[in-house]
Amino acid sequence: MTTNLAGKTAVVTGSTSGIGLAIARGFAGAGANIVINGFGNAADIEKERTAIESDFKVKAVYSPADMSKGAEIAEMIALGEKSFGSVDVLVNNAGIQFVSPIEEFPIEKWEAIIAINLSSAFYAIRAAVPGMKKRGWGRIINTASAHSLVASPFKSAYVSAKHGIAGLTKTVALELATHKITCNCISPGYVWTPLVEKQIPDTMKARNLTREQVINDVLLDAQPTKEFVTVDQVAALALFLCSDNAAQITGSNISIDGGWTAE
């Protein structure tokens, strides 16, 4: 059964690249009007916006909200409601990473990761829930990570933020359980995004390895299938969570990680 989002509006944060872009296009393919968000070159973002409109015959607007700023996040939700009359689906996806031993971890990087990867979801959910409650339907999906379940060294801020978003997901799910609003998080392992792809040539050079060695022994060391998750697989899971068949899935943390967290 396909998911029909015709007449609904989805806000997808961090949708100018990678996973968020695939989710935005996947939801537009199901008929939703879309609020895209994220950083990038203005002309590229406008191209993405118009492509969504022409490929899927829906409407799309761009919110430049910075996910580290609470007031701008509330404006993003208001933009969706003003442009399309409602925000029915909220995907908190924007995220950044920084890797460092804890004693040298730059304080401003800690603050930025907690703000963008965790607090932004709080601000967006807080702003979107009144409208969802009024209409008696909603879907909140948070892009967490395998790092919401397990840790890796040198990623203290990222792992803390992702564990935090898993807790926020459960709390919000319980609060909204009788309102026909579900809240879940998706926890990918390594996803094949431009970000990951760009690291390969440099790592080949730095470690004197072949492309296959970099992929299997460095990047996919933690992933038993030795295959990347694709952005379209994540988008398909997000879309399923919007379907009627997923109405009883709430407060869940759904892994899509090639077996990483089974070990």
Token reading at 68: 């580290």
Residue from the set 3, 33, 86, 93 that interacts with ligand NAD by CB under 6 A: 93
In the complex, least distance from residue 125 CB atom to ligand NAD, rounded to whole angstroms: 15
Question: Residue 204, SS3?
Answer: helix
34 SS3 class: strand
The nearer residue to ligand NAD, 84 or 190, going by C-beta atoms, is 190
Annotated catalytic residue: which of 62, 123, 158, 190?
A: 158
* Minimum distance from residue 220 beta carbon to ligand NAD (Å): 11
Q: Which token pair is 170?
A: 């459960």
State the DSSP string of 87-119.
--EEEE---------GGG--HHHHHHHHIIIII
Q: Which is nearer to ligand NAD, 137 or 233 (CB)?
A: 233
Between 6 and 71, name the residue whose CB sits nearer to ligand NAD: 71
> 51 or 195: whose CB is closer to ligand NAD?
195
Interface residue with ligand NAD among 25, 32, 35, 38 (CB under 6 A) is 38
Active site residue 158: yes
Residues in contact with ligand NAD, shown as a per-residue x/- string from 161 to 200 under the rule CB under 6 A: ---------------------------x-xx-x-xx----
Is residue 18 near ligand NAD by the rule CB under 6 A? yes
Q: What is the rounded distance in angstroms from the CA atom of residue 214 to the CA atom of residue 212? A: 5
Residues 94-113 that bind ligand NAD (CB under 6 A): 94-96
Mark 50-89 with x for binding to ligand NAD (rule: CB under 6 A) and - for no binding. Answer: ----------------xxx---------------------
Give the single-character DSSP code of 39: -
Cβ-based neighbours of 82, under 8 Å, separated by 6 or more: none
Q: How far is the CB of 195 from ligand NAD (least distance, A)?
A: 5
CB count within 10 Å of CB 17 equals 18
CA distances from 70 to 67, 76, 124, 148 (A): 7, 10, 8, 23
Cβ neighbour number for residue 20 with a 10 Å cutoff: 27
List active site positions.
158
Residue numbers at the binding site for ligand NAD (CB under 6 A): 14-20, 37-40, 66-68, 93-96, 116-117, 143, 145, 188, 190-191, 193, 195-196
